[in-house]
Amino acid sequence: MKPHPPTLHYLIFDASDDGEGTGTWEAMASVREAERAALMAEVQAVLARAERLSPGPRGPLDEGGVWDADVHEQRDGDWLAVTVTLTGPWAWGEALVASLDAG
């Protein structure tokens, strides 16, 4: 049985294409501490889905990786901003984000 893609409640991805077949998908969400666990669970679900649909080894593209992900957290008072950035082949990223949107 295939795992279902996560349904996104916090993260909305925007895409940019480098014109050479590589894309970057970035999402940011800001929540209060009470919602941190739910947001981070969503982030982990997205990363797990990216791993499942992996087009090849994960790592920096300039070091031989095919795709990579970065998660950055920043606090401002009782707010937490989380940014998720995915980089990889355009077709892979578009299929990944479409599967998340369909969840």
In order, the DSSP letters of 7-42 are PPSS---EEEE-SSSEEEEEEEEEEEGGGHHHHHHH
Residue 33 is predicted with a pLDDT of 92
* Domain assignment present for 3: no
* Strand-pair category, 14-17 with 22-32: antiparallel
Residue 65: name the closest of 75, 74, 55, 73 by CA. 55
97 domain-assigned: yes
| Cα–Cα dist 39/10, whole Å | 6
Phi and psi angles of residue 9, each rounded to the nearest 5 degrees, phi first: -115, -20
Number of domains in the chain: 1
Is the pTM of the predicted complex or chain greater than 0.85?
yes
Which parts of the chain sit beneath pLDDT 70? Answer: 1-5, 102-103
CATH of the domain at 66: 3.30.70
Cα angle 48-45-39, degrees, rounded to a multiple of 5: 145
**Domain range for 18:** 14-102
